[in-house]
Structure 1
Amino acid sequence: MLRLPRLVLLALLTVYIVWGSTYFAIHVALASFPPFLLMGTRFLVAGTLLFGWLKWRGVKNPTLMQWRDAGVIGVLLMGGGMGLTAVAQQYVSSGLTAVFIACSPMILSLCVGMFGDWPNKREWTGILSGFVGAVLLASSGDFSAQPIGIVALLGAVCCWDIGSVLSQRKLSVAPGAMGFASEMLMGGVFLTIVALLKGESFSAPMTVPALLAWAYLVMAGSLLAFTAYMYLLSAVPPALASSYAYVNPLIAVTLGVFLGGEKIGAREVVAMCIILGSVLLLTMSRARASSSLELKEAV
């Protein structure tokens, strides 16, 4: 991975580590926040902070067309992807959630392939082995679920992947961070409207852990990791950008061991090795592709 450009490596590590811990943060925050209000306020605040900072630096506003495209992407990524994930976590065990999220790189690669950019053999090997590792890691936990949770998870994965593809292949948002800010703002508005239509309210007592978890989701999960993910979509192959889906369960288990006093067995160790091997394949494929491109340009 050290052969990757420094900014790409930093973005990958950010998405791996931060998003690997956000599922626990969502679980903590749901004790005081209803799901759509949790996600809506999270992205509204994050988008407002980023937008305000950019305006203070003199960045111009997006055009009407760019706001429209940001609305489509924001509804798919934040509204469908994150909103439905929060709903699903009320009905689906963490093990089954990890398996569904691990399907994301395969679905994303298939969506991108429809535009003529199919993964190579090395990337397909990394995608499939990463999925196997994620299933093996999650299989030691509970796979209980209610049908509504399964539907919500499937919808979340499809919305996230379709939004990811459209953001780079079809739709045009404002360049740089202003595009990220507009997407979070539009997604946050959509989620808040859905919450109000559903009659959600802050009926549960607001606890300090829930409030801290919400703040972590705003600052780290949205401002930091989401921006890093959108950068990766524009800089590396989709298979590598979406490899967080394999690494996140690994990060979650590691955090549980060091912070929660949990224990891991041989199955978890084997699963982690498979996941790390899949990420290695994906990064090696990216490095080889970059080397080939540099050689062609030199010729």
Structure 2
Amino acid sequence: MSQSNKKNLNSEDVNLPGLLSIATVAALTTVLLWGGSSMVTKLGTQSMDGFSLGILRVIAAGPCALIIIGILGLRIPWHNGSRVHFCLISIMAMLGTIIFTLGVQYTTAGHAVVASSATAIFTGLIEAGFRRQWPSSRWWTGITVGFFGAIILIAESLGLGISQATWYGDLLCMLGAFCGSFGFYLGGRMSIIYGAKTVSLWSVVFACILLIPALIVSVSYEEISKISLLSWGVIFYLAAGASVIASMTWLYALSRGGIGRMAVWQFALPIVGVSLAWAVLKEPITMPLLASIAVILIGIALVQAEKPDLNVLDRTKKG
């Protein structure tokens, strides 16, 4: 690694892009892919258990990532000072994926996508903790407003008493979101040095390798042979789209747009998820639902209007 690229992971001196930027487009692409993943995952858990589906989607993502790595010629980010970060990124992303997939099995797709919007809160708080700098009142206002919109979505639209949803399923989804947030925070920092594509793709490959023994032990050949064509389609969507492509675009957004500001776009996940629930699962769109969407968008706008002197990243290498 050249001297010019040996930057401290805590470097903070850069201006952030505005509301309409490539980083914002990357964040929105991620939201679209992840927003559909809860519904697609729910379809997958109808024919196989969530734990097996979680393992298979992580392992299937490995070859997808390797293909892109080979095309782009990306080297593994395995150097002194970065190995611990890289291992943590891979492990937390792996755990987050499996735990979230397991949670979807025990709750509804709508509840899962709303619970996953907590990623915005977790990522921002993790950033504040590592930087030891309390976010501004405007940032907190945006986070609070967005979270309140998510609460409206759960309580008034989907309903807390719905029989298909459970508190432990929602809790598992939120725990998965926390693990993913931790991995994405560290990934965003490493992306400053190695680039978002390198970090995200190699972490997917590493997670795949780690889970191969678990696949051999927990999933038999007979079970794999009985997987339906629809389930394989679910696995491919989750592996290639939600894991590989979405991870690349999300880490790019974090490294280019600022972790605290880009993370709030996770609040748009309920909009995509509930829209798909309406289109595919025929869930009604109510006035409280529309109100929650409006509140979430207000929260996003508040955080996007944040001054660039608090949530900044050093942009020294192309993603």
Bucket of the pairwise TM-score, normalised by the shorter protein: 0.7 to 0.9
Deviation at 1:94, TM superposition (A): 4.0
Q: Equivalents in 2 of 1:198, 1:141: separation in Å?
A: 34
Q: Indicate which of 308, 311, 315 corresponds to 1:289.
A: 308
| Residue of structure 2 equivalent to 1:165 | 185
Q: Indicate which of 65, 69, 74 corresponds to 1:54.
A: 69
Contact 2:38 2:110 in 1 (8 A): no
Between stretches 15-24 and 86-95, larger displacement belongs to: 86-95
Q: Indicate which of 291, 306, 309 corresponds to 1:270.
A: 291
Q: Equivalents in 1 of 2:237, 2:261: separation in Å?
A: 25
Deviation at 1:259, TM superposition (A): 4.3
| Residue of structure 1 equivalent to 2:4 | none
Q: Indicate which of 120, 138, 141 corresponds to 2:158.
A: 141
Matches within 5 A, 1:104-119: 104-114=119-129, 115-119=131-135
- Compared with structure 1, are the counterparts of its residues 36 and 200 closer, same or farther at alpha carbon in structure 2 (3 Å cutoff)? farther
Q: Does 1:8 align with 2:27?
A: no
Deviation at 1:128, TM superposition (A): 0.7
- SS of structure 1 residue aligned to 2:124: helix
Contact 1:51 1:181 in 2 (8 A): yes
The unaligned stretches of length 5 or more in structure 2 are 1-16, 313-319
Between stretches 60-69 and 38-47, larger displacement belongs to: 60-69
- SS of structure 2 residue aligned to 1:63: coil
Deviation at 1:283, TM superposition (A): 1.8
Q: Equivalents in 2 of 1:6, 1:103: separation in Å?
A: 24
Q: Equivalents in 2 of 1:120, 1:199: separation in Å?
A: 48
Q: Equivalents in 2 of 1:276, 1:178: separation in Å?
A: 32
Q: Indicate which of 223, 247, 259 corresponds to 2:268.
A: 247
Counterpart code for 1:138: I
Deviations 1:222-274 (A, max 9, x none): 22211111112212233333224321111112223344443211111111110
Between stretches 115-124 and 35-44, larger displacement belongs to: 35-44
Q: Identity, % of aligned pairs? A: 20
- SS of structure 2 residue aligned to 1:89: helix
| Residue of structure 2 equivalent to 1:184 | 204
Contact 1:41 1:188 in 2 (8 A): no
Q: Equivalents in 1 of 2:291, 2:196: separation in Å?
A: 40
Counterpart code for 2:172: A
- Compared with structure 1, are the counterparts of its residues 261 and 277 closer, same or farther at alpha carbon in structure 2 (3 Å cutoff)? same
**Paired residue total:** 288
Between stretches 182-191 and 198-207, larger displacement belongs to: 198-207
Deviation at 1:76, TM superposition (A): 0.3
Deviations 1:112-160 (A, max 9, x none): 1122243222211111111110111122324365575355334323322
Between stretches 270-279 and 247-256, larger displacement belongs to: 247-256
Deviations 1:86-116 (A, max 9, x none): 1112223445434533333223222211222
- Compared with structure 1, are the counterparts of its residues 70 and 56 closer, same or farther at alpha carbon in structure 2 (3 Å cutoff)? same
Contact 2:60 2:236 in 1 (8 A): no
| Residue of structure 1 equivalent to 2:301 | 280
- SS of structure 1 residue aligned to 2:75: coil
Counterpart code for 2:137: K
Deviations 1:39-92 (A, max 9, x none): 333333333333333334443344365565433211102x22111011112223
Contact 1:127 1:239 in 2 (8 A): no
- SS of structure 1 residue aligned to 2:106: coil
| Residue of structure 1 equivalent to 2:112 | 97
The unaligned stretches of length 5 or more in structure 1 are 294-299
Q: CA RMSD in A?
A: 3.1
Counterpart code for 2:136: N
Contact 1:67 1:173 in 2 (8 A): no
Q: Equivalents in 2 of 1:257, 1:215: separation in Å?
A: 23
| Residue of structure 1 equivalent to 2:139 | 123
Contact 1:98 1:135 in 2 (8 A): no
Q: Equivalents in 1 of 2:192, 2:19: separation in Å?
A: 27
Matches within 5 A, 1:58-69: 58-63=73-78, 65=80, 66=82, 69=85
| Residue of structure 2 equivalent to 1:87 | 102
Counterpart code for 2:230: P
Counterpart code for 2:29: T
**How high is the TM-score relative to the length of structure 2?**
0.77
Contact 2:191 2:251 in 1 (8 A): no
Q: Indicate which of 191, 198, 223 corresponds to 1:203.
A: 223
Q: Equivalents in 2 of 1:200, 1:84: separation in Å?
A: 21
